[in-house]
């Protein structure tokens, strides 16, 4: 029995070994076993993959941080939106819940900021939009979008600021008052003496309606000081903004006299800025525009004397070109005031006026894709952007000596 049992056990062992051999053979033929060199290569690839994943993680983290942090001042390329100015500056304005105009709908900040006045003016004049009423983007470098408090601190550096020109300049000044009064509903008009009809017709974006609301423009900041001082976010005693409605050459003698009276008594050493805008009433005639400027500056010299010509930094002067023509422009004016003559006029003023100590901001690019009531005048949104461009220039010249 014992010998038969041993023989049987041996058979089982042999059978088991054969089965194991077959299984091993099948396993080895189904899967490739890497050689030593292949194993080494796989290990290297794994290490490289791990390093790449780590680098990707660091890059992603850096990019995420750059969205909320300001790019260093020495950066020269356009980058993602920075934390600076990336909020609605109008959020706490009166009637904002009804008017619903956000500063971010007008301009989206990006880096870098323009480093000097020359690059700033060039950027603001030559920017563009991606679509009708899309946020305006200066070219190559950015402008600031100031808060009301910052805007007040800028205008308060000047003993007075004279806005000289036509209805487009009057509307820009009205938009500036919207900012300085933090009132999106009626900031640019004399709402303290409004009738019920005027309250309805000259509200929010319709403040710049030429037909209904032009007579309600605030021509002098002293009127706010007199009738509604509590509405001024600035110190009204430190703000002196004056509008002189000189629409064409030759100017009316009465308006020139009134303008001269408003220039009297500028204290020694104090700054006064002069901002001009004109052209359509003379059919964009460049020589007429130069005669216009010479006439107004003769009135300035009557009051300020030779100091006006000696110290450009104390008396900075700016010319803002007319808006682009919209599709509602009357056909009768297309040949003399259409977009081709408007562009030629802007190019000519940029060429001629710097030789006469004028800075020039072109507004054709800013306004060509902006809503216009009549093919001439921008709505409140367009004028708020223009007012902010003016504030950027004013800030750039405020501390020049």
What per-residue confidence (pLDDT) applies to 14? Answer: 55
DSSP strands (E only) in 155-206: 158-165
More confident residue, 189 or 58: 189
What DSSP letter does each residue of 10-59 carry, written as one string? HHHHHHHHHHHHHHHHHHHHHSPPP-HHHHHHHHHHHHHHHHHHHHHHHH
Residue with tokens 């009557």: 302
Number of H-type helices and E-type strands within the chain: 16, 5
What DSSP letter does each residue of 222-240 carry, written as one string? HHHHHH-GGG-SS-GGG--
Mean pLDDT of the chain: 85
Question: Nearest 5 degrees, angle CA 212-CA 218-CA 220?
Answer: 155
Q: Please, what are the domains in the chain?
A: 96-398 (3.40.50.1110)
CA atoms within 13 A on the CB side of 316: 22
Rounded average pLDDT over 153-167: 97
Omega cis (within 30) before 246: no
What per-residue confidence (pLDDT) applies to 59? Answer: 39
pLDDT at 128 over 60: yes
- SS3 state of residue 361: strand
What DSSP letter does each residue of 243-259 carry, written as one string? EEE--SSSPPHHHHHHH
Q: What is the pLDDT of residues 326-347, one digit of tens each?
A: 999 999 999 999 999 999 999 9
pTM value is: 0.79
Please answer whether residues 245 and 166 qualify as being in contact, where contact means their C-beta atoms are separated by less than 8 angstroms.
yes
Q: Residue 210: which H helix or E strand, with range?
A: helix 210-213
C-alpha span between 94 and 78 (Å, rounded): 34
Sort residue 284 into left (φ over 0), alpha (ψ -120 to 50) or beta. left
Omega cis (within 30) before 46: no
What per-residue confidence (pLDDT) applies to 11? Answer: 52
Please answer whether residues 87 and 105 qualify as being in contact, where contact means their C-beta atoms are separated by less than 8 angstroms.
no
DSSP annotation of 214: G
How far, rounded to the nearest angstrom, does the alpha carbon of residue 110 sit from its chain's CA centroid?
A: 10
């Amino acid at each position: 029995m014992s010998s038969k049992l041993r023989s049987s056990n041996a058979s089982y062992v042999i059978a088991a070994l054969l089965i194991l051999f077959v299984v091993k053979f099948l396993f080895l033929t189904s899967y490739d076993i890497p050689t030593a060199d292949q194993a080494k290569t796989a290990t290297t690839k794994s290490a490289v993959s791990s390093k790449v994943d780590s680098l990707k993680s660091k890059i992603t983290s850096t990019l995420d941080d750059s969205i909320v942090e300001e790019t260093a001042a020495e950066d020269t390329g356009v980058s993602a939106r920075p934390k600076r100015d990336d909020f609605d500056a109008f959020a706490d304005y009166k009637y904002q819940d009804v008017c619903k105009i956000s500063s971010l709908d007008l301009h989206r900040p990006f880096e870098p900021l323009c480093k000097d006045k020359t690059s700033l003016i060039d950027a603001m004049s030559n920017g563009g939009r991606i679509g009708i009423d899309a946020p305006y983007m200066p070219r190559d470098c950015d402008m600031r979008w100031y808060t009301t408090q910052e805007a007040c601190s800028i205008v308060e550096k000047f003993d007075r600021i004279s806005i000289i020109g036509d209805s487009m300049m009057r509307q820009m000044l009205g938009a500036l008052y919207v900012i300085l009064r933090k009132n999106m509903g009626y900031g640019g008009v004399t709402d303290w003496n409004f009738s019920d009809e005027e309250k309805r017709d000259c509200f929010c974006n319709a403040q710049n309606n030429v037909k209904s609301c032009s007579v309600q423009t605030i021509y002098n900041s002293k009127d706010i000081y007199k009738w509604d001082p509590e509405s001024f976010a600035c110190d009204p005693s430190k703000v002196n903004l004056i509008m002189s409605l000189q629409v064409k050459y030759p100017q009316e003698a009465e308006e020139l006299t009134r303008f001269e009276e408003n220039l009297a008594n500028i204290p020694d050493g104090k700054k006064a800025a002069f901002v001009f805008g004109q052209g359509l009433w003379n059919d964009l005639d460049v020589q007429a525009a130069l005669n216009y400027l010479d006439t107004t500056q003769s009135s300035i010299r009557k009051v300020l004397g030779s100091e006006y010509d000696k110290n450009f930094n104390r008396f900075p002067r700016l010319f803002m070109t007319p808006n682009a023509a919209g599709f509602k422009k009357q056909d009768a004016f297309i040949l003399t005031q259409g977009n081709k003559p408007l562009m030629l006029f802007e190019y000519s003023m940029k060429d001629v006026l710097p030789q006469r100590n004028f800075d020039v901001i072109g507004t054709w690019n800013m306004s060509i894709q902006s809503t216009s009531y009549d093919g001439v005048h921008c709505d409140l949104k367009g004028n708020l952007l223009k007012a902010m461009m003016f504030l950027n220039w004013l800030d750039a010249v405020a501390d020049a000596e």
